[in-house]
Amino acid sequence: MLWALTTQAQYQLRSATLTNSHQQTLIGSLRFYDSEHSPTTIELVPQGSTDVKIIPAAEVQLLRIDNGPTYRGLTLVVPYYKVEPILPSESIIDHTDTTSVLAEQLLDSPLVQLYRFADSRLKTRYVLVKNDSVVLLHNIELQVNRRNGLYSYNEPVFRRELKATLTECPTLNTDRVQYTEKSLITLLSEYLRFCRVMPTQQIVKKAFDSPIVDIGMSGYFLGRVDNFSVSSYMATVQLLLPKRFHNVFVMLDVGRVRYNWEPYSYSNPMLGLFAGRYFGRGAFQAKVYSGITNATGFLDTGVGLSYRKLISVEGRYPVVSLAINGFRTPMSPFLAVRVLVPLSKGHRVQLQR
């Protein structure tokens, strides 16, 4: 669920077609935000205009994003179950909200459609639509205080709801279906095969939603301190995750590190695994990461400046290993230079604010 109406958030402009509740069609550029919340409004720049039109989810019937997902505007009564442990005699419902959201389509067919959205607690909810009948699938999970003990309680109400809705297939077994996207799609596909209808799954990975793999080389250098210096050369693999517009990454370094301590010199294999994030909207972005290496231990932390996530200059400092040593070893930050080339196709779009 990928919008958040906030003037400070980053967004991409994506071509989209919107059908509103009055059956009017709008074509334009959608401000596509990165957020865990399901949108209650969208921002659309109509074709031929520069004005941003803010449209509530309640007025959206269907929203199709080019090379992206399809959304449907739904008005739902959503029960929220108690988070704190309850007694067996207590009500399980904390409160109920009536809300309009844009739900992402996961499966489409002439008979049924499956959608998902994130509620106000960021829990994924699933919705089944059949013959214009909208069924919010319920999965009750609670903590119950009973006889001085705390117990987990789960009531998969959605299994009964599926059975009651998909009546055309009497042999359909809903007893083992799980409240997950994969399990629900598998069940609905079985139902549609019984009805001799071919479904269309809206879960094919698009370029915007696929990870990007980069490979290249990197070098680390530590200036001479008390006749001691370090240098290393690494093969690097960077995986840019779709989360946060490919700004979250995992990085693997493999190579050798050379230690020079006059009059001695020796080298060892080096393996490093890091995770981090890029910050900023333009071609030049700041980056922060931390991880573990066999040479410097945990929390080997780096910061730097990158160009299009492919060329970067960084400073690294092995925080934990120096702390264990009581910072008795004088050491300045490592200087790192990294050069990468894309191995897989992906969208390195410039974000806007």
Q: pLDDT per residue over 22-68, tens digit each?
A: 888 989 888 877 666 777 888 888 888 888 889 998 899 999 988 88
State which residues form the domain around 286.
Answer: 208-342
Would residue 129 count as lying in a domain? yes
Question: What is the model's pLDDT at position 17?
Answer: 92
Q: What's the whole-number average pLDDT of the chain?
A: 81
Last residue of a domain, one of 170, 201, 232: 201
Same domain, 135 and 196: yes
pLDDT band at 160 (very low <50, low <70, confident <90, very high): very high
Same domain, 262 and 300: yes
Last residue of a domain, one of 185, 201, 217: 201
Same domain, 283 and 140: no
Task: Answer with the residue of higher pLDDT: 322 or 247.
Answer: 247
Would residue 1 count as lying in a domain? no
Mean pLDDT of the 129-141 span:
92
Same domain, 289 and 169: no
Would residue 349 count as lying in a domain? no
Same domain, 174 and 31: yes
Would residue 2 count as lying in a domain? no
Same domain, 215 and 193: no
Question: Which residues contact residue 270 at a Cβ distance below 8 angstroms, ignoring those fewer than 6 apart?
Answer: 232, 234, 253, 254, 255, 256, 257, 293, 294, 295
pLDDT at 350 over 60: no
In degrees, rounded to 5, the angle at the alpha carbon of residue 281 between the alpha carbons of residues 4 and 52 is 45
Least confident of 112-126, 202-216, 222-236: 202-216
Same domain, 65 and 159: yes
Same domain, 225 and 172: no
Same domain, 80 and 161: yes
pLDDT band at 327 (very low <50, low <70, confident <90, very high): low
Same domain, 191 and 75: yes
Task: Answer with the residue of higher pLDDT: 154 or 353.
Answer: 154
pLDDT band at 218 (very low <50, low <70, confident <90, very high): confident
Same domain, 46 and 192: yes
Assign residue 338 the CATH number of its domain: 2.40.160
Question: What is the model's pLDDT at position 245?
Answer: 66
Question: What is the model's pLDDT at position 188?
Answer: 92
Question: What is the model's pLDDT at position 106?
Answer: 92
Would residue 109 count as lying in a domain? yes
How many CB atoms within 10 Å of residue 57?
Answer: 23
Q: Which two tokens stand for residue 8?
A: 């400070």
Would residue 350 count as lying in a domain? no
Last residue of a domain, one of 181, 201, 221: 201
Question: What is the model's pLDDT at position 198?
Answer: 66
Q: What is the pLDDT of residues 82-128, one digit of tens each?
A: 988 888 888 899 999 999 989 999 998 888 999 999 998 989 999 99
* Domain count within the chain: 2
Same domain, 164 and 136: yes
Would residue 121 count as lying in a domain? yes
Residue 253 CA, distance from chain mean position: 24
Would residue 5 count as lying in a domain? no
Cα dist. 302→47, 49, 90, 278 in Å?
A: 44, 44, 51, 12
